[in-house]
Amino acid sequence: MSEIKTIALLGQPNSGKSTLFNNLTGLHQRVGNWPGKTVEQAEGEFVFDGTTYKVIDLPGSYGLSANSEEEVVTRDYIQSGKADLVCILVDASQLERSLYMLADFVGIRLPVMLVLNMMDVAEAAGKKIDVAAIEKRLGVPVLGFSAAETERYPEFFKKMVSAIKTPVCLDSGSLREELVGGGELAEKTDNLISRIEAALGDFEYGVCEKIWIAEKLLEKDKLICGVVNEMLPFAHKNAIDAILDSEEGRDGGMLTGEAKYRWVSKIVRELATPKSIEKVFSKWDRIATHHIKGKFFAFGIMVVSLIACMILAFPGMGIGFGMQPVLQSLVERVGGALGVWPVVISFINLVLVGGTCITICMTSFIFAIIFVFRILEEIGYMARFSYAFDNWLSRLGLQGKAIMPLFSGIGCTAGAVCGTRVLDTRGQRLLALVLLWAIPCGSKVAVVLFLASTFFGSAAPLFGIGYVALIFASFYLSSRLFGKKLVPQNERVGMIMELPPYHKPHWKMIAAMVGRSTWGIFKKALKMILVVAALFWALSYAGDGNVENTLLYKIGNAIEPVTMFFGMRWELFVSYLGGMFSKEASLGIMSTLFNHTGEAFSLVTRVAASENLGEALASTISKPEALAFLFASMFNVPCVLAMGTTYREAGSFKWLATIMGYYLAISLGLAFIGYHIGLLIF
Amino acid sequence: MKNADFVDRLSLAEMGENRCGTVAQIEGDSRFISRIVSIGLTPGSAFTLLKNDKLSPVLVFCRDTVIAVNHKESSQIFVKVES
Ligand SMILES: Nc1nc2c(ncn2[C@@H]2O[C@H](COP(=O)(O)OP(=O)(O)OP(=O)(O)O)[C@@H](O)[C@H]2O)c(=O)[nH]1
Ligand SMILES: [Mg+2]
């Protein structure tokens, strides 16, 4: 007979919940060394000793107050009482702050087990923790653990099984003592807590004890205030309102917070040694957080990472590029010998072989970016990075945390879009989405640089600089247009964030994660590219290899009068539209349309593209047209994948349409300007 | 410790680098207080100010943790400085 037990993972941001979750369930929640990655609860299962355990990975939250959306998710789950065991994770290397979650949990009648995670980091920082003594003091199971080290999982299972077998809740007695006696503010708190408890009468609310309700009322927790307001008789409600409105009542949140931390300190200061301050704030940190040096440092790291990306991507690109001609000529020879129809050979070569090779090239770049970012993230540099850029971003109406999604936009817009969830308000998230679309992903950079160097040769670096300037200008424009409304001045909250200690990267974990994501992306990209390549192949196949006999040519010619207004002949306009699908498609289409050799007629001929597309383009397209297309490409919609994720994150079609419309207007507007200026100069 | 009491209502934003102090008072709405308290700054908590250059958020070390607090917000946190 099997029975399902539910374990909820609760803890402050960055305490290692998702690491534990992934190792238990074999699933792949996002992990990284900065606070606030998990934003939706995730569920998974594992079987141990014949019992099935359901594990819930909750978004990190500093306490059980429900201020932000993620905190509401976490709190709701805890209050639902569905968990058979709440596993509270704390970061042993930041024990005192981290244990606040435990203090806030006191008064919730659910069985708990406390995991002091990251013992390895704590030990390296010279911190000694007496786990057994803490267990004795708290009266609940306590485990010293390192979620990232798979060898240690047997200890976890042992503790977990016994915690479920003999469930114990935290006893609220010792915290009550802190709330009631001792401390400078105790006298006030005492009155408040007991007065509220009295006013609550026989009020009952799920798994929450009255003392917990009283604390939350003092902390002006919206949800609890609402519940109490709804369920309590009028007279009691008035009594509580009066207490909360009194002078001490107004400071309630501070009073309870102080008491809870006092409770924590008593445990920690007796049973663990503090960290040394040199270990906490190193020389490196002084540089990384310096307001000028920190930014140079960050740019340096960016450049080094991008170079590392290129080196890492090289082998994969080589394989992709190298394979294509070999395979294609093989197909031709074998096909020819067997007497296969030319149309079949064309399909195999241009759709199947070409598509696969291009996907390999694309994915190898994505692989490199994921890998490098992963390392930066694991080490803990990302948090310093956002610190260093907080003052710049706050001018745009965002905060430092937004640098992480924005920076990862250089890697992949679609991925970065998901990262905007770390921001606190919906307005900030939307604003970040708008800005993000202007940041070129690796492929867009490649396309723009390719075009610039093809048409303008040695002047290409100028375009690079101009592009960067335009991006910053677009930031300014966006924050002007959207910032005021999305993030009103009075709602702009500044940065309040912990800088996590540096961690040594766990290579095995990183390699596994990178390998898995790359494979996932490869599969998805392959499917998409094959479908589009096939479609395009059908539109553009002409038995006699004459472009004028293709469907695409006919459609293109019909719309040319309109597109010429923006300086784009139909071939370029179709490439521009292809660019909305993916940057690679844009190049692929160009090489198809401009290499008037029936041979290279496909979406996927990037090999041919890099070899002779340049010449073909430079000889057919005039400079003004080139300018127009270059500008249009710079601010083109990122790609289908990015549109999909944006729709999901923005949660409304209206916003996706708005952002798309905005960038279409910018890119076509710039194309128009570029074209007409070009006509004057050249 | 004596003259510390005379430094009247010094805010975190005005405090010098590498000094130690304790939080005296926090002002702001309950949302702000709940955020600041839950990250570890409560009245009475001892901390070391690691960094304060007016251009980036203030960095304090408090309860085993390095915490960054934006300038505007840090001027709502009042402290007693140890001399
Ligand atoms: N050295 C060490 N690192 C760990 C350990 N557990 C987790 N980590 C690392 O700590 C970081 C944070 O872990 P996560 O699992 O993402 O933390 P989380 O609690 O899910 O964080 P949020 O989702 O942001 O709330 C990651 O970089 C992990 O690799 C550990 O026991 N030892
Ligand atoms: Mg997580």
Q: Let me know whether A538 and A630 are in one domain.
A: yes
User: What pLDDT, in 10s, does the model give residues A630-660?
Assistant: 999 999 999 877 888 888 888 889 999 999 9
What predicted TM-score, i.e. pTM, was given to this entire model?
Answer: 0.81
Q: Which of A97, A185, A253 shows the shortest C-beta gap to B39? A: A97
Q: Which residues contact residue A302 at a Cβ distance below 8 angstroms, ignoring those fewer than 6 apart?
A: A407, A410
- Residue A611 has a pLDDT of 55
Final residue of a structural domain among A273, A304, A319: A273
- Quick check: A79 and A206 in contact, CB under 8 A? yes
Residue of A10, A12, A14 to test ligand 1 pocket, by largest number of atoms within 8 Å of CB: A14
Q: Which residues contact residue A236 at a Cβ distance below 8 angstroms, ignoring those fewer than 6 apart?
A: A199, A200, A201, A203
More confident residue, A524 or A326: A326
> What distance in angstroms lies between residue A91's CA and the mean position of ligand 1's atoms?
9
Residue A43 in any domain: the answer is yes
Q: How many other β-carbons are positioned within 10 Å of the β-carbon of residue A457?
A: 9
Gap between the Cα atoms of A644 and A626, Å rounded: 30
Enclosing domain of residue A60 = 4-165
User: What pLDDT, in 10s, does the model give residues A90-111?
Assistant: 999 999 999 999 999 999 999 9
**In terms of DSSP bridges, do strands A4-11 and A142-144 run parallel, antiparallel, or are they unpaired?**
unpaired
* Mean pLDDT, range A140-163, rounded to an integer: 94
Question: Which residue has tokens 């140079």?
Answer: A296
Sign of CA dihedral A91, A96, A98, A100: positive
Structural domain count of chain A: 3
More confident residue, A604 or A216: A216
> Among A445, A303, A291, A282, which Cα is nearest to A379's?
A282
Cβ separation B64–A67 shorter than 8 A = no
Q: In A, which residues are within 8 Å of B39 by CB distance?
A: 62, 97, 496-498
- Residue A597 has a pLDDT of 42
Burial of A436 (0-12, 13-18, 19+ CB in 10 A): buried
Ligand nearest to the CA of A123: 1
- Residue A373 has a pLDDT of 78
3-state secondary structure A584-642: HHHHHHHHHHHCCCHHHCCCCCHHHHHHHHHHHHHHHCCHHHHHHHHHHHHCCCCCHHH
User: What pLDDT, in 10s, does the model give residues A586-598?
Assistant: 877 776 677 544 4
- Residue A70 has a pLDDT of 79
What chain A residue is nearest to B60 in terms of C-alpha separation? A498
- Residue A160 has a pLDDT of 94
Q: Let me know whether A138 and A229 are in one domain.
A: no
- Quick check: A56 and A77 in contact, CB under 8 A? yes
Q: Tell me the CATH number at A12.
A: 3.40.50.300
Residue A98 in any domain: the answer is yes
**Partner B, chain A 130-189, Cβ-Cβ below 8 Å:** 183-185
Enclosing domain of residue B77 = 2-81
Final residue of a structural domain among A137, A165, A193: A165
Least confident of A219-228, A275-284, A362-371, A616-625: A275-284
Long-range Cβ contact pairs of A487-492 (< 8 A, separation 24 or more): A487/A397, A487/A398, A487/A425, A487/A427, A487/A428, A487/A431, A488/A427, A491/A425, A491/A427, A492/A394, A492/A397, A492/A399
Residue A491 has pLDDT above 70, yes or no: no
**Element (DSSP H or E) covering residue A364:** helix A354-379
Gap between the Cα atoms of A542 and A532, Å rounded: 17
- Quick check: A342 and A601 in contact, CB under 8 A? no
User: What pLDDT, in 10s, does the model give residues A30-41?
Assistant: 777 777 777 788
- Residue B2 has a pLDDT of 38
Gap between the Cα atoms of A510 and A506, Å rounded: 6
Least confident of A239-243, A430-434, A563-567, A585-589: A585-589
- Residue A599 has a pLDDT of 41
Q: How close does chain A come to B48, measured CA to CA in Å?
A: 9
Residue of A31, A33, A118 to test ligand 1 pocket, by largest number of atoms within 8 Å of CB: A31
Q: Which of A65, A97, A291 shows the shortest C-beta gap to B63? A: A97
Q: In B, which residues are within 8 Å of A75 by CB distance?
A: none
Q: Which of B42, B62, B69 shows the shortest C-beta gap to A496? A: B69
Q: Which residues contact residue A424 at a Cβ distance below 8 angstroms, ignoring those fewer than 6 apart?
A: A68, A399, A401, A493
AA letter at A63: G
Q: How close does chain A come to B73, measured CA to CA in Å?
A: 7
- Quick check: A62 and A13 in contact, CB under 8 A? yes
* Buried/exposed code over A50-64 (b: 16+ C-beta within 10 A; e: otherwise): eeebbbbbbbbbbbb
* Mean pLDDT, range A613-632, rounded to an integer: 83
Whether ipTM tops 0.90, in short, is: no
Cβ separation B70–A390 shorter than 8 A = yes
Cβ separation B61–A494 shorter than 8 A = no
Best mean pLDDT range from A387-401, A411-425, A471-485: A471-485
- Phi/psi for A569 (5° steps) reads -70, 165
Q: Tell me the CATH number at B57.
A: 2.30.30.90
> What distance in angstroms lies between residue A35's CA and the mean position of ligand 2's atoms?
8
Q: Let me know whether A197 and A116 are in one domain.
A: no
What chain B residue is nearest to A273 in terms of C-alpha separation? B64
Gap between the Cα atoms of A432 and A406, Å rounded: 8
Give how far the C-alpha of residue A198 lies from the chain's centroid of Cα atoms, to the nearest Å.
Answer: 46
Q: Cα-Cα-Cα-Cα dihedral of A12, A414, A317, A446, to 10°?
A: -120
* Mean pLDDT, range A146-175, rounded to an integer: 92
Q: Let me know whether A139 and A113 are in one domain.
A: yes
Structure tokens at B29: 């709405």
Q: How close does chain A come to B6, measured CA to CA in Å?
A: 19
- Residue A253 has a pLDDT of 83
Q: Cα-Cα-Cα-Cα dihedral of A285, A289, A290, A293, to 10°?
A: 80
User: What pLDDT, in 10s, does the model give residues B53-77?
Assistant: 888 889 999 988 899 998 888 999 9
More confident residue, A274 or A555: A555
List the beta bridge partners of residue A86. A8, A112
Q: Roughly how many angstroms between the first and final C-alpha of chain B, as a whole number?
A: 6
List the beta bridge partners of residue B78. B11, B25
- Residue A269 has a pLDDT of 80
Question: Which residue has tokens 């069985």?
Answer: A111
Gap between the Cα atoms of A245 and A258, Å rounded: 19
Structure tokens at A279: 């270990």
Q: Let me know whether A670 and A527 are in one domain.
A: yes
Q: Let me know whether A157 and A182 are in one domain.
A: no
Strand order, beta sheet including A112-117: A42-48, A51-57, A4-11, A85-91, A112-117, A142-144
Q: In B, which residues are within 8 Å of A253 by CB distance?
A: 30, 33-34, 37
User: In 3-state terms, what secondary structure has residue B61?
Assistant: strand
Structure tokens at B57: 């958020």
Least confident of A278-292, A329-343, A597-611: A597-611
Final residue of a structural domain among A125, A148, A165: A165
What angle separates helix A442-456 from helix A583-594, to the nearest 10 degrees? 30
Residue A180 has pLDDT above 60, yes or no: yes
More confident residue, A110 or A601: A110
- Phi/psi for B24 (5° steps) reads -100, -45
Q: How close does chain A come to B24, measured CA to CA in Å?
A: 11
Structure tokens at A633: 């490409």
Annotate A385-432 with DSSP letters as a single string: HHHHTHHHHHHHT--GGGHHHHHHTTT-HHHHHHHGGGSSSHHHHHHH
Residue A130 has pLDDT above 50, yes or no: yes
Which residues have CB under 6 Å of ligand 1? A 11, 13-19, 31-33, 35-38, 59-60, 117-118, 120-121, 146-148, 378, 503, 506
- Residue A608 has a pLDDT of 43
Q: Which residues contact residue A285 at a Cβ distance below 8 angstroms, ignoring those fewer than 6 apart?
A: A384, A499, B66
Question: Which residue has tokens 């296969």?
Answer: A340
Q: How confident is the model at residue B3 (pLDDT cuts 50, 70, 90)?
A: very low
- Residue A439 has a pLDDT of 94
**Partner B, chain A 269-288, Cβ-Cβ below 8 Å:** 274-275, 277, 280-281, 285-286
User: In 3-state terms, what secondary structure has residue B69?
Assistant: strand
* Mean pLDDT, range A271-284, rounded to an integer: 73
User: What pLDDT, in 10s, does the model give residues A234-263?
Assistant: 888 888 888 888 877 778 888 888 889 999
Gap between the Cα atoms of B13 and A281, Å rounded: 19
Residue A353 in any domain: the answer is no
Q: In A, which residues are within 8 Å of B71 by CB distance?
A: 494
**B59 lies within 8 A of chain A by CB:** yes
Q: In A, which residues are within 8 Å of B78 by CB distance?
A: none
Best mean pLDDT range from A46-50, A324-328, A659-663: A659-663
Nearest CA to ligand 1 atom 32: A118
User: What pLDDT, in 10s, does the model give residues B11-57?
Assistant: 998 888 888 999 988 888 888 888 888 888 988 888 999 988 888 88
Left (φ > 0), alpha (ψ -120 to 50) or beta: where does A50 sit? left
pLDDT over 70 for what percent of chain A?
93
- Residue A613 has a pLDDT of 67
AA letter at A79: Q
- Residue A110 has a pLDDT of 94
Ligand nearest to the CA of A29: 2
Least confident of A27-31, A384-388, B22-26: A27-31
* Buried/exposed code over A155-177 (b: 16+ C-beta within 10 A; e: otherwise): ebeebbeebbeeeebbebebbbe
Question: Which residue has tokens 């241009």?
Answer: A350
Q: In A, which residues are within 8 Å of B35 by CB distance?
A: 62, 67, 496
> Among A330, A341, A327, A358, which Cα is nearest to A603's?
A358
Structural domain count of chain B: 1
Q: What is the mean pLDDT of chain A?
A: 84
- Alpha helices by DSSP H, listed for A479-550, are 484-486, 507-540
> What distance in angstroms lies between residue A172's CA and the mean position of ligand 1's atoms?
29
Burial of B18 (0-12, 13-18, 19+ CB in 10 A): exposed
Q: Let me know whether A139 and A190 are in one domain.
A: no
Q: How close does chain B come to A36, measured CA to CA in Å?
A: 13
List the beta bridge partners of residue A51. A48
Gap between the Cα atoms of A467 and A449, Å rounded: 10
